[in-house]
């Protein structure tokens, strides 16, 4: 027991001694660090030894103490004689756990051998190496060790500057990352470029094929095909053009104009210029000069090909319609001649009938005269049919001519009612006319419309019914209405009655005479007079046809 107590006392004494030494050492270190001392004495087994910081200048020491790099001085045994706070921070230890310790202790195991070799070599020449120190939170801290031997106080020490490379490494890492990203981006770009090139190549091929297909198609159809740029300047003709014109190549943008018939040029230029300016389709029937000098009729039609905003190009076709045009001309000529030829015997028949009627009337044979009056009415109907055919041809050819005059409207209505009434002996025509007005227009043709209304009223209503002919003045216009109490026109057919060749369809459709031209011609006459035409009708109850014209007074 006594011996144990003795030992404890010894231990306590020893601990106290060590504590005292530690405090002394810490004071010394602090003194050195703060520059208060330039030298200190260290006691060891060989007795006291004086360590001086001979070359140390306070300013430099403070500088070294404050710098962010770790600064360490080791002796030849590798014991750390000096360390600044930055190094202690780097190894995440208080300064007291650094000074006097072997430098190796702060080097992780994997780097230790190489650092030992480095330290060994550094006594002879300056050495540098990058290693990893175990940093805070076990996060390895990359550092650069710069080792340099220094002569201090006649002895040699090794100074080790430890530079924190974490920021640099991080920057490098970021740079590397950025470089990697850049490389990846470059790779993607390269890939996209390759894809784009491929697409362009494919599209070019497709375009080429498409162009070739277009050219193949265009060159093998019996129609002139051309294209023009956005400004309307022709830049392509197909083979048919060259075959037709006998030209071997395109000479100028005016090639097309040069082949136009002189009489068509002005209109063509006007229409084409307008189409190009507005970007609207172009259409015209005109003549093109053939290689042998013959002019043939063509129908030219051009459409603008647009991107979302503007016209990119024009595609035009010119179809040879000369044969059709000639056929139309022959048809027109035929109608013209046929109607003339029909009118000649009609004139004779009508003439003889009228002379006979005149003679019978003079002799007092009213029965014969009346019968001949009926024949005369039928002849008039035949004349009307012939004239209708001629009128339709004229409307279609734009040759329907009007001869304007200012005339008394009621006078015309009464005249027509009297004339048409003669043929409608079994109908009661009732005239209810408003105050008369002056109208400007083609008197005969307006009379033709009234006559057509009354004829139709008679044709489609039963015997012994009334037909009302009314006029009303509305503001600056005058309206004429013809009302019958006949079969009427079904609603679904009402919009078609003014179409060419229209005839009411239904059970008894074929029992009514007529070509279906009268109302078509009437509508055209009203259109040309800037008037309106229409009907109100109920099936089975009758119809009211009307037109409205502007007054001239």
Looking at 37, 253, 368, 379, which residue binds other proteins (CB under 8 A)? 379
Looking at 227, 354, 493, 494, which residue binds other proteins (CB under 8 A)? 354
CA distances from 297 to 175, 261, 293, 320 (A): 77, 10, 13, 6
Distance between CA atoms of residues 124 and 147, nearest Å: 10
Token pair for residue 467?
A: 């037909």
Question: Which residues lie closer than 8 Å to 64 by C-beta, 6 or more apart?
Answer: 71, 84
Residue 118 lies near other proteins (rule: CB under 8 A): no
Q: Please, which residue, 290 or 350, has the CB nearer to other proteins?
A: 350
Contact 410, 472 (CB under 8 A): no
Residue 414 lies near other proteins (rule: CB under 8 A): no
Residue 351 lies near other proteins (rule: CB under 8 A): yes
Distance between CA atoms of residues 264 and 258, nearest Å: 11
Q: Is the dihedral of CA 6, 9, 14, 17 positive or negative?
A: negative
Looking at 97, 261, 343, 550, which residue binds other proteins (CB under 8 A)? 343
Token pair for residue 276?
A: 């190009």
Residue 12 lies near other proteins (rule: CB under 8 A): no
Contact 283, 300 (CB under 8 A): yes
Residue 348 lies near other proteins (rule: CB under 8 A): yes
Q: Please, which residue, 228 or 386, has the CB nearer to other proteins?
A: 386
* DSSP collapsed to 3 states, 278-347: HCCCEEEEEEEECCCCCEEEEEEEEEEEECCCCEEEEEEEEEECHHHHHHHHHHHHHHHHHHHHHHHHHH
Residue 394 lies near other proteins (rule: CB under 8 A): yes
Distance between CA atoms of residues 482 and 529, nearest Å: 19
Looking at 59, 251, 401, 510, which residue binds other proteins (CB under 8 A)? 401
Q: Please, which residue, 201 or 381, has the CB nearer to other proteins?
A: 381
Q: Please, which residue, 348 or 495, has the CB nearer to other proteins?
A: 348
Residue 186 lies near other proteins (rule: CB under 8 A): no
127-134/140-152 β-pairing: antiparallel
Looking at 355, 406, 425, 508, which residue binds other proteins (CB under 8 A)? 355
Looking at 403, 426, 492, 513, which residue binds other proteins (CB under 8 A)? 403
Query: Which helix (H) or strand (E) element contains residue 208?
Result: helix 166-219
DSSP character at residue 121: H
Judged by CB under 8 A, which stretch of 291-299, 335-343, 476-484, 541-549 contacts other proteins?
335-343
CB of 446 to other proteins, least distance (A): 16
Each residue of 116-154: b (16+ CB within 10 Å) or e? eebbeebeeeebebebbbbbeeeeebbbbbbbebeebee
Residue 346 lies near other proteins (rule: CB under 8 A): yes
Looking at 21, 171, 344, 378, which residue binds other proteins (CB under 8 A)? 344
CB of 350 to other proteins, least distance (A): 4
Judged by CB under 8 A, which stretch of 21-29, 348-356, 365-373, 511-519 contacts other proteins?
348-356
Looking at 111, 313, 383, 473, which residue binds other proteins (CB under 8 A)? 383
Which residues are near other proteins by CB under 8 A? 336, 339-340, 343-344, 346-348, 350-352, 354-355, 358, 379, 383, 387, 390, 394, 401, 403
């Amino acid at each position: 027991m006594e011996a144990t107590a003795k030992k404890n006392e010894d231990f306590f004494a020893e601990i106290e001694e060590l504590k005292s030494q530690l405090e002394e050492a810490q004071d010394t270190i602090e003194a050195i660090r703060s520059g208060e001392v330039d030298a200190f004495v260290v006691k060891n087994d060989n007795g006291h030894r004086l360590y001086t910081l001979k070359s140390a200048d306070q300013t430099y020491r403070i500088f070294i103490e404050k710098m962010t790099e770790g600064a360490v001085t080791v002796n030849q045994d590798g014991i750390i004689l000096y360390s600044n706070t930055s190094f202690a921070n780097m190894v995440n230890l208080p300064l007291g756990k650094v000074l006097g310790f072997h430098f190796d202790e702060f080097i992780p195991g994997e780097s230790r051998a190489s650092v030992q070799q480095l330290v060994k070599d550094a006594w002879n020449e300056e050495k540098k190496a990058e290693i990893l120190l175990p940093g805070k939170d076990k996060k390895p801290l990359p550092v650069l060790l710069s080792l340099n031997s220094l002569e201090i106080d006649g002895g040699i020490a090794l100074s080790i500057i430890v530079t924190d490379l974490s920021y640099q490494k991080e920057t490098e890492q970021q740079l590397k990352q950025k470089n990697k990203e850049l490389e990846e981006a470059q790779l993607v770009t390269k890939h996209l470029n390759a894809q784009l090139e491929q697409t362009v190549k494919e599209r070019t091929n497709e375009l080429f094929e498409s162009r070739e297909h277009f050219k193949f198609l265009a060159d093998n159809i019996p129609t002139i095909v051309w294209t023009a740029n956005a400004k309307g300047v022709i830049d392509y003709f197909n083979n048919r053009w060259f075959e037709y014109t006998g030209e071997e190549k395109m000479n100028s943008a005016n090639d097309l104009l040069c082949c136009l018939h002189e009489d068509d040029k002005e209109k063509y230029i006007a229409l084409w210029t307008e189409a190009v300016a507005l970007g609207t389709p172009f259409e015209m029937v005109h003549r093109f000069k053939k290689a042998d000098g013959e002019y043939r009729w063509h129908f030219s039609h051009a459409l603008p090909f647009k991107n979302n905003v503007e016209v990119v190009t024009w595609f035009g076709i010119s179809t040879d319609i000369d044969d059709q045009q000639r056929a139309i001309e022959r048809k027109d000529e035929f109608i013209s001649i046929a109607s003339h030829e029909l009118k000649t015997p009609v004139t004779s028949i009508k003439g003889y009938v009228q002379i006979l009627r005149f003679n019978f009337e003079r002799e007092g044979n009213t029965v014969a005269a009346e019968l001949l009056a009926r024949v005369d009415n039928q002849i008039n109907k035949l004349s009307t049919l012939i004239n209708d055919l001629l009128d339709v041809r004229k409307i279609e050819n734009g040759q329907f001519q009007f001869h304007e005059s200012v005339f008394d409207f009621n006078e015309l209505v009464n005249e027509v009612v009297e004339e048409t009434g003669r043929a409608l002996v079994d109908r009661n025509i009732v005239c209810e006319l408003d105050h008369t007005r002056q109208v400007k227009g083609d008197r005969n043709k307006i009379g033709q419309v009234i006559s057509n209304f009354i004829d139709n009223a008679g044709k489609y209503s039963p015997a012994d019914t009334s037909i009302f002919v009314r006029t009303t003045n509305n503001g600056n216009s005058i309206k004429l209405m013809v009302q019958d109490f006949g079969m009427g026109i079904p609603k679904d057919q009402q919009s078609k009655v003014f179409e060419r060749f229209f005839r009411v369809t239904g059970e008894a459709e074929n029992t009514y005479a007529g070509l279906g031209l009268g109302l078509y011609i009437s509508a055209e006459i009203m259109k040309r007079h800037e008037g309106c035409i229409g009907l109100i009708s109920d099936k089975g109850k009758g119809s009211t046809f009307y037109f409205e014209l502007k007054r001239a007074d």
